[in-house]
Structure 1
Amino acid sequence: MTGDLFDNVAEAQPPREEIAEGAVLLRGFAKPIESELIAAVRAIVVQAPFRRMTTPGGYQMSVAMTNCGECGWITDHTGYRYDPIDPRSDVPWPAMPPQFRDLARRAAEQGGFAGFAPDACLVNRYEPGTRLSLHQDKDELDYSAPIVSVSLGLPAIFLFGGMARSDKTRRFRLVHGDVVVWGGPSRLAYHGVAPLADGEHTLLGRQRINLTFRRTR
């Protein structure tokens, strides 16, 4: 009985939910190609392994990450930036898989942003207890393009606020296959991820993988 109740609640969720002006949540949008996405992530990690980067302030990030695309986001003692070269291997980041690029384009279009052509994809790995503090994505040169964020694996609580860190945040439970798109008036909204609850996902085990697509220039 309890399982049926929760299944009905999940089915009742709208496939497209506007969470702010210029921001939408697309439930299950990436699920039809989950196998291709996971296989692509595993191939990327072989070339550019996950690592926990250090912030300019000397703090190690709890989220492990890597990148693919024409450039990748990195942080070290010199600051935050995009770079075409992986500093660990001193070679270019892996190319962005076609299915990544196509998914990001289609999701952005659903959010009202036609013609999105990302040149970077941040691949983040969350493990139980890992969190991402409220922040703005502002290292890109052009804010006219949206951010497209894809959730795979364990559920997470996504926090979405306003233009100031002190603005009230709303909480959204993201599950495997959900995609969030934000741009326009919400492009610089503060957002983050609450500490990841423990669990076991059928395909990815005790982790959440987040793909974040951006146009950096």
Structure 2
Amino acid sequence: MDAELFPRDPTEIAPGAVHVPGWLDGDGQRELLRACREWARPPAGLRTVRTPGGGTMTARQVCLGWHWYPYAYARTVVDGDGTPVKPFPAWLGALGRGAVTDALGAQAATGASYDIALINFYDADARMGMHRDSDEKSDAPVVSLSLGDTCVFRFGNTESRSRPYTDVELRSGDLFVFGGPSRRAYHGVPRVRPGTAPDWLGLTGRLNITLRVSGFQAVAAGTKRIMGDSPS
């Protein structure tokens, strides 16, 4: 991967929220993209998420470990084909802990057993409204990895969807971690910049891989309902 003309430095956007540009190298991005393409295949594959009010999210989604739907988790794709959710791989959990260590320090990663992944695919017209990742019982940091097209990531405050917020440009390979006092901050994606993915990656659009710790006991089947508003 070519070196950037103007290298970007890791930046603390808010207390506990850190942007690490270029965290995944070219090989790491290609490997993660290959995995995402496999996860997107049916059964329990990429789907359009429908909201309780009858609307649809413009970013399509596939889940690992626990299946998220508005606004709960289940072990099956209850709002889709009804099949068991795909397993959460151990290597992805290790990647999440390494990301937290690099962004926030080793202590922040202690005891963080990642068991949920939400993978969102954004085409040129997709957006994500301001929301909080609040359907989990754990306060472990959220890990967000970007592949493909650049997006504008809006990171706000914990009180409301409105200002103050900071707009951050997330490019392919970038890492964003938020925990501690920023764990429940509102955030969203107001726009994607189509055609900005690196040519060598072979991806049209943007993938966001969000890793979380559920904080609740796994069960063989059924639903764990925790009210919130968090698709990420």
TM-score bracket for this pair, using the shorter chain length: 0.7 to 0.9
> 2:93 aligned with 1:101, yes or no?
yes
CA contact (8 A) 1:129 1:197 kept: no
1-structure distance, mates of 2:4, 2:98: 27
> 2:144 aligned with 1:146, yes or no?
no
Match of 1:183 in 2: 179
1-structure distance, mates of 2:41, 2:68: 18
Deviations 1:143-175 (A, max 9, x none): x21110000011111000111222221111111
In structure 1, stretches of 5+ residues that fail to align are 1-5
Match of 1:29 in 2: 23
SS of the aligned residue for 2:40 comes to helix
SS of the aligned residue for 2:211 comes to strand
In structure 2, stretches of 5+ residues that fail to align are 216-232
Match of 1:19 in 2: 13
Alignment of 1:1-217 (within 5 A): 7-9=4-6, 11=7, 13-14=8-9, 16-31=10-25, 32-47=27-42, 48-69=44-65, 71-75=66-70, 80-87=71-78, 88-110=80-102, 111-112=104-105, 113-115=108-110, 116-142=112-138, 144-163=139-158, 164-199=160-195, 201=197, 202=199, 203-217=201-215
The CA deviation at 1:200 is 5.4
The CA deviation at 1:197 is 2.1
Q: Which has the higher contact order (CA 8 A, sep 6+)?
A: 2
Deviations 1:66-98 (A, max 9, x none): 1112x12112xxxx1111112223232111233
Question: How high is the TM-score relative to the length of structure 2?
Answer: 0.82
Runs of 4+ in 1 over 3 A off after TM superposition: none
Cα gap change, 1:200 to 1:182, in 2 (>3 Å): closer
CA RMSD of aligned residues (A): 1.7
CA contact (8 A) 1:154 1:199 kept: yes
CA contact (8 A) 1:165 1:190 kept: yes
SS of the aligned residue for 2:36 comes to helix
Which AA in structure 1 matches 2:18? V
Q: State how many pairs are aligned.
A: 203
2-structure distance, mates of 1:200, 1:17: 22
1-structure distance, mates of 2:72, 2:208: 19
2-structure distance, mates of 1:107, 1:7: 21
